[in-house]
């Protein structure tokens, strides 16, 4: 079982910070960037994210002769996960990597359906320019159709963006720290997120990042 990327990256960031504090070499720092989460109980195959019509966060690395041939254009990190129960007696969610082998072992109920989550992380270093005030668009691919979602927001550096199918919002905000312990341990209660409106069947909530800068070795 693999925890969702958001929890893993929180730990990875903390470990990196510990070691970077002892590093004497030169570093280059950038604004923290933005992270976009698409959460839905719909039968979603994949999600593509675009900033001002330029695609970011490709789901697959193409490696040929030990070289990633599409890495220069990926411009961001994408993680795909599912969240579901292992049994009807369990009143909390577990997080797994996206894949039929995990989905087929999920137990879905009205209160605890299977959630499909797509997590895209981007910053100025990866994008090669500022991401402030850019337009975010999603292409959502379901089993038998695809849909382009125009989100009526301009991106601001330093924010998490939680994008939830409008039909799922009441259920999502009903969950507690017992239901989603790992999620709440990192993000806190749903009330901490500022709701920013709904657009074309999807609702957006925003949470400022704790990180102020992201630094890399030169």
Q: By the 8 A CB rule, do 56 and 77 touch?
A: no
Q: Residues 30-39: what's their mean pLDDT?
A: 92
Using the CB atoms, write b or e for 183-213: b if 16+ within 10 Å. Answer: bbeebeebeebeebeebeebbbbebeeeeee
Q: Name the pLDDT band for 25 (thresholds 50, 70, 90).
A: low
The pLDDT tens digits for 93-106 are 888 888 878 888 89
The better pLDDT of the pair 197, 217 is held by 197
Q: By the 8 A CB rule, do 204 and 212 touch?
A: no
Number of H helices, E strands in the chain: 6, 15
List, as own/partner pairs, every contact residues 15-23 make where C-beta atoms lie below 8 angstroms and the sequence separation is at least 24, other chains included.
Answer: 20/215, 23/217
User: Looking at the chain, how many residues does it have?
Assistant: 218
Q: Residues 151-174: what's their mean pLDDT?
A: 93
Determine the pLDDT at residue 24.
Answer: 54
Alpha helices, DSSP H only, in 62-123? 71-74, 100-103
Determine the pLDDT at residue 28.
Answer: 87
Determine the pLDDT at residue 2.
Answer: 42
Q: Is the pLDDT of residue 22 over 90?
A: no
* Total tally of structural domains belonging to the chain: 1
Which stretch of 38-47, 68-77, 184-193 has the lowest confidence by average pLDDT?
68-77
Determine the pLDDT at residue 208.
Answer: 95
Q: Which domain holds residue 201?
A: 5-217
Q: Residues 194-217: what's their mean pLDDT?
A: 90
Q: In the numeric block, which tokens belong to residue 120? A: 């895209």
Q: Is the pLDDT of residue 74 over 80?
A: no
Within 10 angstroms of residue 31's Cβ, the number of other Cβ atoms is: 19
Name the strand (E) or helix (H) holding 171. helix 169-172
The pLDDT tens digits for 114-143 are 999 999 999 898 888 899 999 999 999 998
Q: In the numeric block, which tokens belong to residue 55? A: 């695609």
Q: Name the pLDDT band for 77 (thresholds 50, 70, 90).
A: confident
Question: Mean pLDDT in the chain?
Answer: 83
């Amino acid at each position: 079982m693999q925890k969702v990327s958001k929890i893993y990256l929180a730990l990875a960031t903390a470990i990196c910070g510990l070691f970077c504090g002892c590093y004497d070499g030169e570093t280059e720092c950038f604004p923290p960037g933005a992270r976009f989460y698409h959460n839905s109980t719909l039968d979603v195959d994949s999600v593509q994210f675009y900033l001002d019509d330029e695609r970011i966060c490709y789901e697959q690395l193409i490696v040929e002769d030990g070289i990633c041939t599409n890495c220069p254009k990926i411009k961001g990190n994408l993680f795909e996960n599912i969240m579901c129960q292992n049994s009807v007696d369990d009143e909390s969610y577990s997080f797994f990597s996206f894949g039929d082998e995990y989905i087929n072992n999920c137990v879905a109920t009205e209160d605890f359906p299977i959630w499909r989550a797509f997590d895209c992380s981007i910053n100025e270093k990866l994008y090669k320019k500022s991401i402030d005030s850019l337009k975010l668009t999603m292409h959502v691919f379901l089993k038998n159709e695809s849909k382009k979602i125009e989100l009526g927001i301009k991106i601001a550096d330093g924010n998490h963006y939680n994008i939830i199918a409008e039909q799922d919002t009441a259920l999502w905000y009903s969950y507690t720290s017992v239901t989603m312990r790992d999620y709440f341990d990192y993000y806190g209660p749903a009330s901490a997120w500022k709701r920013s409106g709904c657009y074309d069947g999807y609702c957006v909530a925003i949470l400022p990042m704790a990180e102020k800068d992201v630094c890399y070795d030169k």
